[in-house]
Amino acid sequence: MVRLPYGTSNFEMLVNQGYLYIDRTPYLAQLERLSEKYLFFLRPRRFGKSLWVSVLQYYYGVEHKDKFDTLFGSYHIGQNSTPLANSYLVLKFDFSGIDTDSKEKTYRGFSFKVRQGIQHFLATYPALFSSEATEDILSKPAPEIMIGSLFALMKRTDTPKIYVVIDEYDHFTNELISFRLTEFQEIVSENGYVRKFYEVIKTATGDGVVDRIFATGVAPITLDSLTSGFNIGSNISLSPIFNEMMGFTDEEVKGILEKIEIADSEIAGMMDEIRTWYNGYLFEADGKERMYNSDMVLYFAKEYQARGKYPKSLLDTNISSDYGKLGKLFRLGGEESQRWDMLQDLLSGKDIYTQITEQFSFARKFTAYDFQSLLFYLGLLTIKEAYRSGTHLQIPNDVIRQLYFQYFTELLQRRLDFQSETIKVETAVEALAWENDPKPLVTLLTDTLRQLSNRDWPGFDEKHLKTILVAYFYTVGIYHIQSEPEFDQKYPDLLLRRRPPYAPPYQLMIELKFLYKKDAEKADAVATQGRQQLQAYLQAEEVQGLENLRAWLWVFVGAEAVVVEEVNK
């Protein structure tokens, strides 16, 4: 049975213990061929960045030279090594896991991480340092002084040059951006301790002590905010050459399913599901193909391998915790309410047209383009296509869409000062799914609409009604939810198909109609139109094979459901 490297980021352990590794080593040569030597590579959380940092450590560290064939022999780079293989002293920093609850804790955490990286470096290359030198370096009172002392000593010795690798360079600063922006600005300013740290590294490159740098992270905001403190770094994240460097391709995902011994007859249908939930990421419009989040795929594969069936939740709790801080993000650079319209547009399927920001600055107003670009870097939006001078962005997949709907539900309930208990939502959805009884769900929707204030009604339409309803379906998660799927240029509002491992008796098609109270006299005509639409949809070849499909027409006049009717062919 193949071992899946879910949560495994140590390359040596992965190889020695027989874990599956999707070979990304050809990119080592591509990175070396670049003119730039101080590189930043950004990808959303859980995309395999930490494992790549580990690959760099083992490939470039002089201490691993004797293990080269064992570690890399079965991969591309093993037969095509580069001149720089195992030629550096590798100094690694990992800035994940820093407690940002207060200024003091953030500083202590950053200092600890710097000290930890230097301590490991000194222990890895003990022949280069006397015990007195080691003690002197580690006794320095500030992170920039500590690393400066190390570099000063290295400058006076005839040793291989240093390759600095930094994992999650902005993990803690992104948290500060979300809820303590002033503190963030202080630590990256001219006298800030983060800026001073990077200024020392910059100086070491000029002195010839540090020859190469590779840093991973999520967003360029911290790098951009360092300005002249670290203006040597090159952000290669949007290069089409490296679009596929992290994450999995479609063919690679199929190969993983084959390796966990899923029958060929099942793989095609399973790939359709996995593609909907985990695929969709494009980081440059000219990238060769859309990528899967590697963590999401490995979560699914390990769960299926262990259980022999689909996991109940296709949303990994680790992904949920990493991506689920939408509320803080939606307050960045403005009031949360200012993002309400954009959120509803996204959830109704509308694309976002923007200019992707490549240089952030809090010295100027944080624009809507900046906010949308931040969502792109975080993996909460992705490129749909280049359009004119800008870019159309969209939600990449159903995992991220579910997170948006979860946040929408929380935000809606706060706006309405109205709580729909999860158990009530589950009971209402299950009544429709298992008993074909829409009454509890219609009642729940009606109660929600009654809470809308007068300021919420202007502009309210079927799109907003559908968004609220879909949020309830995502809360329960027993259906594959399709909003306005195309059937011969016809678009039903909602199609709810079974998704494994759940098997509710009924699959559902719902057509929604909404009228203001002043237009109540149009309800009969609108209902007639809705019936005709559903009857046409039911003739579509794509739905003919859907077992126990039930079609429902719901017509709302204001907050009241005036028509709740099952429609047959």
Q: One digit per residue, pLDDT tens: the chain, 569 residues?
A: 799 999 999 999 999 999 999 999 999 999 999 999 999 999 999 999 999 999 999 999 999 999 999 999 999 999 999 999 999 999 999 999 999 999 999 999 999 999 999 999 999 999 999 999 999 999 999 999 999 999 999 988 888 999 999 999 999 999 898 888 899 999 999 899 999 999 999 999 999 999 999 999 999 999 999 988 899 999 999 999 999 999 999 999 999 999 998 999 999 999 999 999 999 999 999 999 999 999 999 999 999 999 999 999 888 888 777 666 777 777 776 666 667 778 888 888 888 999 999 889 887 888 888 999 999 999 999 999 999 889 999 999 999 999 998 888 877 777 666 666 788 899 999 999 999 999 999 999 998 888 886 767 777 888 889 999 999 999 899 999 999 998 878 899 999 999 999 999 999 999 999 999 999 999 999 999 999 999 999 999 889 889 999 999 999 999 999 999 999 98
CA atoms within 13 A on the CB side of 524: 1
Consecutive H or E run containing 172? helix 171-179
Name the segment(s) of the chain with CATH classification 3.40.50.
Answer: 11-242
β-strand partners of 496: 481, 508
Q: Decide the pairing of beta strands 234-235 and 38-42.
A: parallel
Question: Could you tell me if 297 and 256 are in contact, meaning their C-beta atoms sit under 8 angstroms apart?
Answer: yes
CA-wise closest residue to 514 among 551, 471, 460: 460
CA atoms within 13 A on the CB side of 44: 29
**Dihedrals φ, ψ of 342, to 5°?**
-65, -40
Query: What order do you get walking across the sheet with 382-387 strand by strand?
Result: 352-354, 390-394, 382-387
Q: What is the pLDDT of residues 478-504, one digit of tens each?
A: 999 999 998 878 899 999 999 999 999
Q: Between the CA atoms of 529, 530, 535 and 537, what dihedral angle is there, to the nearest 10 degrees?
A: 110
The confidence score (pLDDT) of residue 418 equals 60
- Using DSSP, state whether 147 is helix, strand or coil: helix
> In sequence order, what E strands does 10-63 have?
38-42
In 295-330, which positions are buried (b, 16+ CB within 10 angstroms) versus exposed (e)? bbbbbbbbbbbeeeebbeebbbeebeebbebbeebb
DSSP 2: P
CB within 8 Å of 128: residues ≥ 6 apart: 89, 154, 157, 159
Q: For 166, left (φ over 0), alpha (ψ -120 to 50), or beta? A: beta
**Dihedrals φ, ψ of 19, to 5°?**
-80, 155
Tokens matching residue 466: 């559908």
Looking at 417-496, list the stretches that DSSP marks H as alpha helix, in order from N- to C-terminal side: 422-435, 439-450, 462-476
Q: Decide the pairing of beta strands 507-515 and 494-498.
A: antiparallel
Question: Could you tell me if 241 and 193 are in contact, meaning their C-beta atoms sit under 8 angstroms apart?
Answer: no
CA-wise closest residue to 276 among 407, 395, 383: 395
Q: Say which CATH architecture domain 11-242 belongs to.
A: 3-Layer(aba) Sandwich (3.40)
The confidence score (pLDDT) of residue 324 equals 62
First to last CA, the chain: 49
Question: Could you tell me if 467 and 498 are in contact, meaning their C-beta atoms sit under 8 angstroms apart?
Answer: no
Q: Decide the pairing of beta strands 507-515 and 162-167.
A: unpaired
CA-wise closest residue to 188 among 112, 113, 115, 106: 106
Residue 216 has a CB neighbour count (10 Å cut-off) of: 26
Question: Could you tell me if 432 and 438 are in contact, meaning their C-beta atoms sit under 8 angstroms apart?
Answer: yes
CA-wise closest residue to 468 among 519, 524, 509, 411: 411
Q: What is the pLDDT of residues 383-408, one digit of tens each?
A: 999 998 899 999 999 999 999 988 88
Q: Decide the pairing of beta strands 210-217 and 38-42.
A: parallel
Question: Could you tell me if 246 and 198 are in contact, meaning their C-beta atoms sit under 8 angstroms apart?
Answer: no
Q: What is the pLDDT of residues 330-381, one digit of tens each?
A: 777 666 666 777 888 888 888 899 999 988 988 788 888 899 999 999 999 9
> What predicted TM-score, i.e. pTM, was given to this entire model?
0.92
Q: How far is CA 222 from CA 15, 21, 145, 176, 195, in A?
A: 34, 31, 21, 11, 10
The confidence score (pLDDT) of residue 335 equals 61
CA distance 515 to 517: 6
The confidence score (pLDDT) of residue 328 equals 76
Place of tokens 């200012």: 338
Amino acid in the structure at residue 445: L
Question: Could you tell me if 215 and 173 are in contact, meaning their C-beta atoms sit under 8 angstroms apart?
Answer: no
Question: Could you tell me if 287 and 243 are in contact, meaning their C-beta atoms sit under 8 angstroms apart?
Answer: yes
Q: Which long-range contacts (CB under 8 A, 24 or more apart) does 131-139 make?
A: none
Question: Could you tell me if 567 and 534 are in contact, meaning their C-beta atoms sit under 8 angstroms apart?
Answer: yes
